[in-house]
Amino acid sequence: MNFFNRDLLIKSLKETEEWDILIIGGGATGLGIAVDATVRGFKTLLVEQDDFAKATSGRSTKLVHGGVRYLAQGNISLVKEALKERGFLLKNAPHLAKNESFVIPCFSWAKGFFYAVGLKMYDWLAGNKSIGKSKLIFRKEVEKRLPTIKKASLKCGVLYHDGIFDDARLALNLAQTVVEKGAVVINYCRVISLLKNEGQKICGATIMDKETQEIVEVKSKVVVNATGVFADDILKMDQPESKPLIRPSQGIHLVLDGSFLQSGDSIMIPHTDDGRVLFAIPWHDKVLVGTTDTPLKIPSPEPRALESEVEFVLKTAASYLSEIPTRKNVLSVFAGLRPLAANGDETAKTKEISRSHKVIISESGLVSVIGGKWTTYRKMAEDAMNKIMNHQLLSAKSGSTENVKIHGYSMEANKPGSLSFYGSDKIEIEMLEEENEYFTQPLSKETHIKVAQVIWAVRNEMARTVEDVLARRIRVLFTDARLAILLAPKVADIMMKELNHNEIWKANQVETFTQLAKGYLPTL
């Protein structure tokens, strides 16, 4: 039986008289809290107004890391915590997260020694969670590892290890994990107001199913605001006069063809013109290059890269790559917002704001978790649940998520172009293909993605729209926006039949997705 079925989960939402904990937000923070709460034995409900990882949590730099930059800033405690959490994630989701070699190309021996010493400290902070030792390497090895690096003035390099992963797939697998453990997790359910009792304490929320427009009142002992960059919206539902707690910051990424890197290693550029670091990472047969740090005032679920950001990333990449990338080489460009916790200093640059998280409980009992990053999602959840229990909002229950295997857990090597990112679900998708020869067909001659993967996304991964499939279940929108536009009509046709929709729905889906995907194409 497929427990990850939206209709069944909606039914459970309506039939449950009271939940122990209602979590608003289906990104890294909310899903992490759902796993922790469920493992402890609490009756858990999570609702997401769009799709899982639609916003920040599906638009990261794909790093599972301690943060070399945070080490340079002197934030030792955050780095140490993140390195420990990196170890847990690589252990619990090996089908999605893996050990990656990073090379810092150095154009002076002094820089090489400087970074080598700093990264030895990075190794030391990882302790028994180390995934590989850093070392200074000679020019010849740098050129061997990075065949497309600019060779003029190159002296040496520093090799170190960190993790990379697929963020939106991890979010989906976390949602599946908690549902398998008895929780209810639903996408496209929007909280429209908070419920309060006679004592003005929060006791639930009013939720609208965006697919049917049906409104349901949900009672819960605790309500958690885990909405990332939109946390202030929920805070204002609780206290209209509340001051903003989020300082949004935008980061963009450009996706290039794999020929620009031609390596299984990643490049880390430690100091760009804006004082950040830049990465070039092999990801889904392509190269992901980013990121930037641009302050924004108003968060959006579909942020757009600024012209100046695209130019900055291209200019920086051109300083290090032998083949200079231009806009015509960009397959996709996407932007994401960081939900940075405001530190009271409005003049502070967003790149200087700590990536540490905060757990805040208002007078009414609303629990808000703000800040943080993907790597520390599990620890953020643990801290939030401990604070909830310490404040006696829920009775104390023990339980650890350090060794909880995430849905899809598989030790099989993740091979590019294969189904291995599905982990243990790969076997069932292959069984689905055996049912019907049509299911084995590629969506078009331009791709190896099969009809079966779309059907699987609808039947077993709660995909409700063409965007859900092409952006997050299968990452085509983020790796090649033009190809995603090409595939949209075929995907819409398959989904229409699976979900019993009509031709009008299909046409609307193709039009909506095409307009969305055009925003991922760089303007020339």
CB neighbour class for 72 (10 Å; exposed up to 12, middle 13-18, buried from 19): middle
Cα separation values, 108 from 139, 158, 319, 351, Å: 11, 12, 15, 26
Confidence (pLDDT) at 346: 46
CA distance 369 to 382: 11
Cβ(99)–Cβ(131) below 8 Å: yes
Dihedral, 69, 71, 72, 73 alpha carbons, nearest 10: 90
Give me the half-sphere count of Cα atoms (radius 13 Å) on the Cβ side of residue 489. Answer: 3
Strands 202-209 and 97-106: unpaired
CA distance 485 to 501: 20
Q: How many other CB atoms are there within 10 angstroms of residue 373's CB atom?
A: 26
Cβ(452)–Cβ(461) below 8 Å: no
What global pTM score does this model have?
A: 0.95
To which CATH superfamily is domain 86-163+247-339 assigned?
Answer: D-Amino Acid Oxidase, subunit A, domain 2 (3.30.9.10)
Cα separation values, 504 from 498, 508, 510, Å: 15, 6, 10
Residue 354 has pLDDT above 60, yes or no: no
Give residue-wise pLDDT tens across range 389-399: 999 999 999 99
Cβ(207)–Cβ(191) below 8 Å: yes
CA distance 32 to 374: 10
CA distance 128 to 30: 28
Domains of the chain, by residue range, sit at: 6-56+168-245+351-390, 86-163+247-339, 420-518
CA distance 228 to 371: 7
Give me the half-sphere count of Cα atoms (radius 13 Å) on the Cβ side of residue 316. Answer: 26
Q: Which amino acid is at 370?
A: I
The whole-number average pLDDT for the span 245-254 is 92
Phi, psi of 227 (to 5 degrees): -100, 15
Taking all residues of the chain, what is their mean pLDDT, rounded to a whole number? 93
Q: Which fold has domain 6-56+168-245+351-390?
A: FAD/NAD(P)-binding domain (3.50.50)
End-to-end CA distance of the chain: 49
Cβ(433)–Cβ(440) below 8 Å: yes
Alpha-helical segments (H) within 25-158: 28-40, 68-72, 76-92, 109-126, 139-145
Q: Measuring CA to CA, which residue among 512, 452, 513 is closest to residue 484?
A: 513
| For helices 451-460 and 481-498, angle between their N-to-C axes, nearest 10 degrees | 60
Confidence (pLDDT) at 1: 59
Choose from 315-324, 365-374, 417-426, 487-496 the range with maximum mean pLDDT.
487-496
The full 3-state SS of 378-396, as one line of letters, equals: HHHHHHHHHHHHHCCCCCC
At the second CATH level, the architecture of 420-518 is Orthogonal Bundle (1.10)
CA distance 334 to 302: 9
Confidence (pLDDT) at 355: 52
Strands 266-269 and 189-196: unpaired
Residue 347 has pLDDT above 70, yes or no: no
Distance of CA 431 to the CA centre of its chain: 29
CA distance 180 to 184: 9
Confidence (pLDDT) at 265: 97
Tell me the sheet residues that pair with 103: 159, 267
Q: Is 330 left (phi over 0), alpha (psi -120 to 50) or beta?
A: beta
Give residue-wise pLDDT tens across range 166-217: 999 999 999 999 999 999 999 999 999 999 999 999 999 999 999 999 999 9
3-state SS assignment for residue 171: helix
Confidence (pLDDT) at 446: 93
Give residue-wise pLDDT tens across range 395-443: 999 999 999 999 999 988 666 667 999 999 999 999 999 999 999 999 9
Give residue-wise pLDDT tens across range 441-453: 999 999 999 999 9
Q: Which parts of 258-410 are beta strand (E)? A: 266-269, 278-283, 286-290, 294-295, 332-341, 357-361, 367-371
Give residue-wise pLDDT tens across range 90-120: 999 999 999 999 999 999 999 999 999 999 9
The whole-number average pLDDT for the span 368-372 is 92
Q: Is 231 left (phi over 0), alpha (psi -120 to 50) or beta?
A: alpha
Confidence (pLDDT) at 506: 98
Residue 351 has pLDDT above 80, yes or no: no
Confidence (pLDDT) at 353: 40
How would you label 204-221 residue by residue, b for 16+ Cβ within 10 Å and e otherwise? Answer: bbebbbeeeeeeeebebb
CA distance 320 to 311: 15
